[in-house]
Amino acid sequence: MKLRLLTAIAVIFAIFNAVADDAAVQKALANFEQAAPAARPAAATRLLAELHAVDDAYPLITFKAGTPAPEIEKEIWLDMADYCYNTNRYDRCVTYALRALPLWKGGEFESDCLNLLAMAYFRLSDYTKAARYALQCYDIDARTGDPDIMSSTLNTIAGIYLGANQPQKAEEYILKAIDLNKQTPNRARQAVIEGMASEIYHAMVNDDEALRHIDIACDIERSLGRDDKLAVRLVQRASILNGLHRYAEAEQLLRPLIPQLQAAGDLHSLAIAYNKLGMALFSQQRHAEAVTCFRQAATLFMRMGDLGNELHARRGLYESLWYSNPDSAKLELDRFDLLKDSLYSTATAANLARFDAEMNNDWLRQENTRQQAHKRAIIIISIIAALVIAAVVWWLMRRRSHLREAALQAIIDRLQADTDTEAATPAPAEPTTDDADSRFLRSLIDIVKRQPEGANISIEEIAATMCVTRGQLNRRVKAIAGVTTQQYVTRIRLEQARELLAHSSLTVAEVGARFGFDDPSSFSRAFRRAFGQSPSSLR
């Protein structure tokens, strides 16, 4: 507990110092930008002193009165671009690097300006612009023949291809960078290149090779005593452990790194660490803890404008929230879709044929293809389900119709069992029982058979003849026969038609017309439904 308290105090103290240092730099920058031309040399000298106080890698330069403005500005804008990149302000890095670039045109630091632009645009996920500036930088570096500088630019190009989800192409560049680096004694550069190689092989799902490269990078950082850089490499190692499904190890590695990165002010690596810790926790089914980590990562990446990494954080946040808060999860999914569309547009905005390939985002295309395939599958399944349901409903209706027809036929057969078979149009037989239902149906049959041939039978007229209302008639027939009055009447007329077909030479159309079927096809369909055969086949 005591150790944790001391660590927290140290982190807070370091963050406070970093904020204070940055405030001093920003104040000096504002003074420089607002200074009158005569006061600019002194203001520039103070600004470079503040940068040197933050990091002694920035040179201490004293500008004399009367120093030409371009000489002052090219140094200031280049150093500010570098400072903003190191403090994860990539938009501002681009602004200052673009100011410095024309001032260094043809000069010794032109390639540095181009390299900063390439890396900043890479962090902003604008791979098209990143690639364009990286190519210009490499053209200059190649002319120098310096393997150290060339390997650095090749490392940047490899990162651009990796960001555009083309790890196979990235592998080609990183292997060239490794070969060039072997010709130099620059071990710090080697650690950076080995770290990039590990990320590339991790993206290629070759985590054993990725682990080998990151272990080399970690050993170099330890030997150089660069604890801040070692923390970055260890975050990369945790990502590989996640890929190997060693989630508990990844979590154990990341926990102490987060306060260390906070203290160092390395927001980009801190955000990546939160992302990787969220992945480790999610994979261990600790969804609530994962939500906290992914949210921290998404907030930091959004602040830095790193769309590519924010995309991964939003996806993790959506997946983690789904188990506890589906509504919030849907909001994160919307944000994920917007980012994905934005990245797709950025990556495909220009032709990168000079890099032997277009830098469009293959991952987004694959994701889009997967979603389209998913939608097509849902549509196909829905159509199949609808067809199955329709087939079942049709079968049930047909079965019900057959059962109804069979019941109706049984009633009519029973009522006509004793019909005088010698009559041309035989009258229904007397009911075998003297119950009221049989007498009722017999009366209905008689009324129907007395109707003139070809006449349309009105249910209202039948009801009036039987001294009942239409509603009473329908309810009575439904209760006895299980069908409507119209269906019962139609069946009686079909029975008459079948009898006439069997004992006359009239055509099918003529028989149908005699019993109210003006359309021969309608008569044939009704006849087939009732008796299971066509009128012509009966003959």
pLDDT > 60? residue 302: yes
- In the Cβ-directed half-sphere of 400, how many Cα atoms lie within 13 Å? 8
pLDDT at 353 over 80: no
Per-residue pLDDT, 15:
42
What whole-number distance in Å separates Cα of residue 93 and Cα of residue 114? 11
pLDDT > 90 in the chain, percent: 37
Which residues neighbour 361 within 8 Å (Cβ) at sequence distance 6 or greater?
127, 164, 165, 343, 344, 347, 348
Domain residue extents for the chain: 22-144, 393-538
Q: CA 282 to CA 278: how far, in whole Å?
A: 6
Q: How many residues does the chain have?
A: 539
Token pair in block for residue 348 = 């495909």
Measured distance CA(364)–CA(32) in Å, rounded:
43
pLDDT at 451 over 80: no
User: Are 234 and 218 spatial neighbours (Cβ–Cβ below 8 Å)?
Assistant: yes
User: What does the pLDDT read at residue 222?
Assistant: 94
Q: Given a cut of 70, is residue 37 above it in pLDDT?
A: yes
Per-residue pLDDT at 380 exceeds 50: yes
Contact 289, 281 (CB under 8 A): yes
Which of 140-149, 158-167, 273-282, 417-426 is least confident? 417-426
% helix, strand, coil for the chain, step of 5: 80, 0, 20
Q: What is the dihedral of CA 190, 192, 193, 198, to 10 degrees?
A: 120
Confidence (pLDDT) at 408: 57
**284-313 average pLDDT score:** 88
- CB atoms near residue 479 (< 10 Å): 9
Token representation of residue 315: 């996806």
Pick the closest to residue 490 from 431, 423, 412 (CA basis).
412
Q: What CA–CA distances, in Å, run from 408 to 23, 376, 389, 401, 432? A: 96, 47, 28, 10, 16
Q: What is the reported pLDDT for 195?
A: 94
CA 407 – CA 410 distance, rounded (Å): 5
What is the percent of the chain where pLDDT is above 70?
Answer: 80
Type of residue found at 297: A
- Rounded to 5°, angle at Cα 189 from 183 and 194: 95
From CA 527, how far away is CA 98, in angstroms rounded? 88
Q: Is 76 exposed, middle or buried (0-12, 13-18, 19+ CB in 10 A)?
A: buried
Least confident of 18-22, 303-307, 392-396, 458-462: 18-22
Choice among 40-44, 372-376, 457-461 with the minimum mean pLDDT? 372-376
Q: Please give the Cα distance from 212 to 175 (Å, whole number).
A: 14
Q: What is the pLDDT of residue 437?
A: 80
> What local confidence, expressed as pLDDT, does residue 151 receive?
92
Q: Tokens 């057969």 appear where?
A: 413
Q: Which of 171, 163, 217 is nearest to 193 (CA)?
A: 217
- According to DSSP, residue 353 is labeled G
Top-confidence range, 10-14, 139-143, 450-454: 139-143
Q: Which of 155-159, 312-316, 490-494, 525-529 has the lowest mean pLDDT?
A: 525-529
Rounded CA gap, 29 and 227, in Å?
30
Cα dist from 109 to 113, 114, 493, whole Å: 7, 9, 103
Encoding tokens for residue 276? 């990787």
Position 221 confidence tier, pLDDT thresholds 50, 70, 90 = very high
Angle of the 110-123 helix axis to the 90-103 helix axis, nearest 10: 160
Looking at domain 393-538, its CATH class is mainly alpha
Do the Cβ atoms of 271 and 300 come closer than 8 Å?
yes
* pLDDT the model gives residue 349: 35
Buried/exposed 45-69: b ≥16 CB within 10 Å, e otherwise: bbbbebbeebeeebeeeebeeebee
How do residues 68-77 score in pLDDT, each as one tens digit?
999 999 999 9
Note the pLDDT tens digit of each residue in 45-81. 999 999 989 888 888 889 999 999 999 999 999 999 9
Instruction: Please list the alpha-helical segments (H only) found in 145-266.
Output: 147-163, 167-181, 187-203, 207-224, 227-243, 247-264
DSSP letter at 146 equals -
* Residue bearing tokens 């801040």: 228
Global confidence as pTM? 0.54
Query: Residue 496 in contact with residue 463, Cβ under 8 Å?
Result: no
The rounded distance, in Å, linking the Cα atoms of 270 and 21 is: 19
Q: Give the whole-angstrom CA distance, residue 385 versus residue 428.
A: 48
Neighbours of 70 (CB within 10 A): 11
Looking at residue 6, its pLDDT comes to: 36
Question: How far apart (Å, rounded) are the C-alpha atoms in residues 89 and 300?
Answer: 11
pLDDT at 214 over 90: yes
CATH of range 22-144; options 3.40.309.10, 1.25.40.10, 2.30.30.140, 3.30.470.20: 1.25.40.10
Residue 402 has pLDDT above 90, yes or no: no
Cβ atoms within 10 Å of 225's Cβ, excluding its own: 8
Buried b (16+ CB within 10 A) or exposed e, 345-372: ebbbebebeebeebbbbbbbeebeeeee
Round the average pLDDT of the chain to a whole number and report it. Answer: 80
Confidence of residue 379 (pLDDT cuts 50, 70, 90): confident
Smallest CA-to-CA distance from 29 within 65, 79, 85 is with: 79
